Each structure stands twice: as structure tokens, then as C-alpha cells.
């Protein structure tokens, strides 16, 4: 196989349209001519300005940390004599205010608010404050939240805000609490009843989990149960698992009601089912919340399952090649195979052809297979499995076409 000459960013990525432009920068949607995938290119037009340059490299650092699945991932960086650019993942969503005009229900709005707080909280854990909270920086795609534009971020404890487009009162030191106060006007669009100041994200999430009118509903249910003893007995005999499977409960509602307690996790059926279910939902914030409820002895008993759950929460402290190889060879549910491939891409782990095949055999669609193969190809890794046998039998299937076009 011949080596392909290195191409500059301007040669590889073709401009499709301009998203935004200021005196200092421009943002464009571009197309990767090698893969046909859309991306976003951000360009600093005055790289000699020390403040703008500092903030630009700071945004690159934040995106490179991949602290959440709710942010775009950085793809490439290029510097010339006149400009400084980076390529990031394209998020095909709509701004928050536009999404709100579609009149989503209260449950969906509260879930989006929880996702937003969880993303900001994850940023705080990395030592950064977001500061520039506004509707256009929050995109919603298929009822999932994504946060973009990190060029106004500052380290926690900073005393100067450089690039925020919203008014920020001067302070001796900015903290996480200050950042949450700047976030509140956005959150009140989603959950209007939020009124007070919050010292930490945990306090804010606890308030978000409360439902209006719930005490009255509980009083009504209690009255009914007192009047009908038989009905009360029937309700008590309905397990959490049965209520979840019937659609009466969600993982969020179980967390809000504190039903995932020690008694819940001591049931082996609950443990195996709900860990797998949580992983399959592909929501790091939710995975993190569920993981925190699992007692230590249950984590030890189901070490492999809780390790996968930790990875789905983007907690990689126990990510090493030994653990990875053991879980691959052990074999798992398709959602676990998809998770392991995603973890490897996030952490630049290049699996052997044998490991790839073991995971590909468990995948349910061509997408996971092709995404990892393209990831290896983009890194110049020659060792990859023959993925043709894992592709869809339909020639027109999107990922089958993508792979075959790349290998013509």
C-alpha cells in the first residue's frame, strides 16, 4: 500500500457554508473530502493577539479533554502565518430557544436541564468555568443536549473575564457558584420554578428533580390505599423491575425517588438488568448518577459490570489494557461491545485485529464497525480486521457505502 501524501487542513476540508463571523474569528461548516463527513472549522483571524490566542488554545485544551459526550470532539488543529484553525465534530442540532418553540413537555424540558447541569458540572470538575451561557451555545438534537463554543471559559478562581458576550459583574474571584448563577436564566426557560441561588451543582440537580404538585398526588394515592386495602397489597407486590418494564418508571424517576438503595441492588436480577439498561441508554450523566448509588460490596461482586458502567460514565481511572482485554474476551451484550469501541476511540486505543473481530461479532449494526475502522484508518493504523463480513448486506446502507467508497 502506498503512503498518501500529507494534506493541509484547507486541502482536506472543503468549506460548505459560513455559520458565523466576527472581526476576530469565523466559524464554517466543512466537508471532509476523504470521508464525506461534515465538520465545523473555527478560525482565529488575528492569531498575533495574545488574549485571543490564549483563549483559542484554551478552547482546544478543553475540547481535547473530552470531559463529556455532550460536547463536540476536536479532530485537527492547524497554524499558519496568518491564521489558527481547528476542526471539531459537527452537531446537527437546533439552538435551545428554537427547540423550546416546539413546545416540548415538562418531563423532556427537565431532562434537558439535568443534562445541561451535568455537563457544566463535569466542566467544573476539570477546573473550568463556562461563563458565556446563551441559547445559541446550546444545541438540541433528537432530544439530547450538546454544549458548544468554549472560547470564553476561564479557570476556576479567575478574576478576569475576557470574551463573554453577556455582562458579568467584576469580582475578586469567580467560582462555580458564580457560573451557576450565570446559568440560571437559561435553566429557568426550561424549568421556570427555579428561583434561588445555588452553591453547587448537586444542590441545583436536587431542586430540578422535584416535581410540582407531587405532595398532593402522594396524599391522593395514600387516601386511595387506605380505603382499598386490596389495591394497596397489589401495589406493594409490584416490583421496581415490573414497573420499569411497563413504562411506569424511568431511570430518572427511580433516582429521584431514591429507589436505587441497598435493598434494590442486593437483588441480583435488578443489578444485572439495570446496569445493562443504563449502559444501553448511552447517557454519561445518567450512568454517573446510577453508579453512585451502587454499594461497595455489589461493585466488588459485579466488578466487570460496574467497570463497564464507569466507562459509560466517562470515568476511566481503571481503564487499562488488561481490563480491556478481559472484557473483550469475556463477551457481552451488543451495548457493551459498542461502549468498548467508543471508549477505545475516545482514549486513542488501537485494538488488535483479533480483538476487533470479537467486538464486531457482537455489534448489531454496521455503524459501530465502520466508525472504529475509519478511526484506525485516519490514524494510519494498518492492523485492522476484514470488516466486509460485518457490513450490512444492503449496498445502499449508509455505513456500508462509506466504507466501500473509502477503499475504492
* Helical spans, DSSP H, in 1-105: 9-12, 50-64, 96-100
Give the pLDDT confidence of 323-335 residue by residue, as tens digits. 999 999 887 678 8
Rounded to two decimals, what is the model's pTM? 0.54
**Above 70 in pLDDT, residue 57?**
yes
Q: Are 212 and 109 in contact (CB under 8 A)?
A: no
**Above 50 in pLDDT, residue 1?**
no
Across all residues in the chain, what is the average pLDDT? 83
Give the pLDDT confidence of 241-278 residue by residue, as tens digits. 999 988 888 887 888 777 899 999 999 999 999 999 99
More confident site: 38 or 372? 38
Q: pLDDT value at position 2?
A: 44
Nearest in space to 259 (alpha carbons), one of 274, 277, 279, 280: 274
DSSP 172-224: S---HHHHHHHHHHHHHHH-TT--S--SSHHHHHHHHH--TTHHHHHHHHHHH
Torsion region of 40: left, alpha or beta (phi above 0 gives left; psi -120 to 50 gives alpha): beta
- Could you give the 3-state DSSP secondary structure of residue 69? coil
Quick one: pLDDT band at residue 4, thresholds 50, 70, 90? very low
For the chain, which residues make up each domain, given as ranges? 9-89, 94-209, 319-408
Q: Do domains 9-89 and 94-209 have the same CATH topology?
A: no
DSSP 124-155: HHTTEE-----GGGEEEETTEEEE---TT-EE
CATH topology of domain 94-209: Transferase(Phosphotransferase); domain 1 (1.10.510)
CA distance 24 to 43: 9
Quick one: pLDDT band at residue 230, thresholds 50, 70, 90? very low
Q: Which CATH number fits domain 9-89: 2.40.50.140, 3.30.200.20, 3.30.300.180, 3.40.50.300?
A: 3.30.200.20
Give the pLDDT confidence of 181-220 residue by residue, as tens digits. 999 888 988 887 776 788 888 888 888 887 654 444 545 5
Torsion, Cα 393 396 398 400, to 10 degrees, reads 40
Q: pLDDT value at position 235?
A: 42
Would you tell me how many other CB atoms lie within 10 Å of the CB of residue 57? 16
CA 74 to chain CA centroid, Å, is 14
Give the pLDDT confidence of 121-162 residue by residue, as tens digits. 999 999 999 999 999 999 999 889 999 999 999 999 988 887
Q: pLDDT value at position 229?
A: 54
Amino acid at each position: 500500500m502506498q503512503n498518501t501524501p500529507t494534506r493541509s487542513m484547507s486541502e482536506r476540508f472543503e468549506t460548505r457554508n459560513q455559520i458565523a463571523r466576527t472581526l476576530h474569528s469565523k466559524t464554517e461548516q466543512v466537508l471532509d473530502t476523504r470521508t464525506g463527513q461534515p465538520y465545523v472549522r473555527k478560525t482565529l483571524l488575528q492569531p498575533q493577539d495574545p488574549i485571543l490566542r490564549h483563549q483559542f488554545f484554551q478552547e482546544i485544551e478543553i475540547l481535547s479533554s473530552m470531559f463529556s459526550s455532550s460536547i463536540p470532539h476536536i479532530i485537527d488543529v492547524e497554524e499558519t502565518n496568518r491564521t489558527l484553525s481547528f476542526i471539531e465534530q459537527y452537531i446537527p442540532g437546533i439552538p435551545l430557544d428554537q427547540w423550546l418553540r416546539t413546545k416540548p413537555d415538562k418531563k423532556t424540558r427537565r431532562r434537558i436541564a439535568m443534562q445541561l447541569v451535568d455537563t457544566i458540572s463535569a466542566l467544573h470538575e476539570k477546573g473550568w468555568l463556562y461563563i458565556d451561557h446563551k441559547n445559541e451555545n446550546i444545541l438540541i438534537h433528537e432530544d439530547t443536549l450538546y454544549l458548544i463554543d468554549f472560547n470564553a471559559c476561564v479557570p476556576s478562581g479567575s478574576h478576569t473575564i475576557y470574551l463573554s458576550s453577556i455582562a458579568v459583574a467584576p469580582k475578586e474571584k469567580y467560582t462555580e457558584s458564580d457560573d451557576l448563577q450565570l446559568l440560571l436564566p437559561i435553566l429557568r426557560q426550561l424549568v421556570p420554578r427555579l428561583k434561588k441561588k445555588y452553591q453547587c451543582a448537586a444542590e441545583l440537580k436536587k431542586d430540578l428533580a422535584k416535581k410540582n404538585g407531587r405532595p398532593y398526588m402522594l396524599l391522593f394515592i395514600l387516601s386511595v390505599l387506605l380505603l382499598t386495602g386490596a389495591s394497596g397489597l397489589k401495589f406493594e407486590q409490584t416490583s421496581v423491575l415490573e414497573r420499569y418494564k411497563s413504562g411506569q418508571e424511568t431511570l430518572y424517576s427511580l433516582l429521584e425517588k431514591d429507589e436505587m438503595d441497598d435493598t434494590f441492588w442486593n437483588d441480583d436480577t435488578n443489578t444485572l438488568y439495570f446496569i445493562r439498561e443504563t449502559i444501553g441508554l448511552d447517557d454519561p450523566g445518567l450512568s454517573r448518577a446510577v453508579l453512585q448509588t451502587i454499594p461497595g460490596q455489589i461493585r466488588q461482586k459485579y466488578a466487570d459490570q460496574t467497570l463497564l458502567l464507569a466507562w459509560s460514565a466517562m470515568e476511566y481511572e481503571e481503564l487499562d489494557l488488561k481490563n480491556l482485554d478481559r472484557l473483550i474476551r469475556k463477551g457481552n451484550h451488543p451495548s457493551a461491545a459498542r461502549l468498548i469501541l467508543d471508549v477505545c476511540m475516545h482514549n486513542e486505543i488501537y485494538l488488535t485485529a483479533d480483538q476487533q473481530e470479537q467486538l464486531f461479532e457482537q455489534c448489531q449494526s454496521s455503524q459501530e464497525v465502520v466508525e472504529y475502522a475509519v478511526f484506525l484508518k485516519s490514524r494510519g493504523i494498518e492492523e485492522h480486521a476484514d470488516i466486509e463480513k460485518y457490513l450490512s448486506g444492503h449496498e445502499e446502507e449508509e455505513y456500508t457505502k462509506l466504507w466501500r467508497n473509502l477503499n475504492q
